[in-house]
Amino acid sequence: MRIVIAEDSALLRAGIERILADAGHQVVAGVPDATNLLHLVERERPDLAIVDVRMPPTFTDEGIRAAAVLRSQNPESPVLILSHYVEERYASDLIASDTKGFGYLLKDRVADVPAFLDAVEVVGGGGTVLDPEVVSQILVRSHRRSALDQLTQRERDVLQLMAEGKTNAAIAAGLHVSVGSAEKHIASIFAKLGLAADDSGNRRVLAVLRYLEN
């Protein structure tokens, strides 16, 4: 299998290249950033691209955004994401679009060389390999998004004002409703987001965090 690797850590890149070469694969090239990855794939048309999520210049999500570009340009082009982190938004979008020839593994799994090589074979052959931790985090995000989708527009307006630090009285004044009505909306928000009453008084903070996460 002809493989390209996008990994900014020269040491890790060399280690992956060695593992793949020892298994009989041809590593066409390894590059340290997403821009060179796109050029490399365009030129070499590899059987598989192994891509790190965080790469230069910002070390945030350059790699997985490049993977999304590759998949949008050629959905049949296999991509295996290999990262220390779960980038939930792009990962869920990639999985939702098409999982054929797509994989997402946490780098800890590379320590299990046979399992890593199995994943390479599966993804390169058009299959799907997803790390259990990736699946778990995406499901949690999906559940949170689904809960927020249940909110009415008025409840979203209330949550927006809560995120701005408004008191119940200020929320009521801002929406031209009674304080009692504002409190009912807030109680409904807590219920829909699954935030049970407790003694900590943190439900307001947790609701705002859910809102800001999305």
CATH superfamily of the 2-140 domain: Response regulator (3.40.50.2300)
Q: Report whether pLDDT(87) > 90.
A: no
Q: Report whether pLDDT(69) > 80.
A: yes
Q: For residue range 6-28, list pLDDT tens digits in order.
A: 999 999 999 999 999 999 999 99
Kindly state the average pLDDT of the residues 70-79. Answer: 88
Q: For residue range 108-132, list pLDDT tens digits in order.
A: 777 789 999 999 999 999 988 888 8
Where are any strands of DSSP class E within 148-204?
Answer: none
Whole-angstrom distance, CA of residue 101 vs CA of residue 85: 20
Whole-angstrom distance, CA of residue 42 vs CA of residue 146: 38
Question: What pLDDT score was predicted for residue 120?
Answer: 95
> What's the first-to-final CA gap in the chain, in angstroms?
39
The whole-chain average pLDDT of the chain stands at 87
Q: Is the dihedral of CA 170, 171, 175, 177 positive or negative?
A: negative
Q: For residue range 91-105, list pLDDT tens digits in order.
A: 777 877 777 899 989
Q: Report whether pLDDT(143) > 80.
A: no
Q: For residue range 44-63, list pLDDT tens digits in order.
A: 999 999 999 988 888 888 99
Residue 25 · residue 49 · CB < 8 Å: no
Given CATH 1.10.10.10, say whether it is the number of domain 151-213.
yes
Which pair of tokens denotes residue 22? Answer: 């020892």
Question: What pLDDT score was predicted for residue 198?
Answer: 66
Place of tokens 């998949």: 71
Domain regions of the chain by residue span: 2-140, 151-213
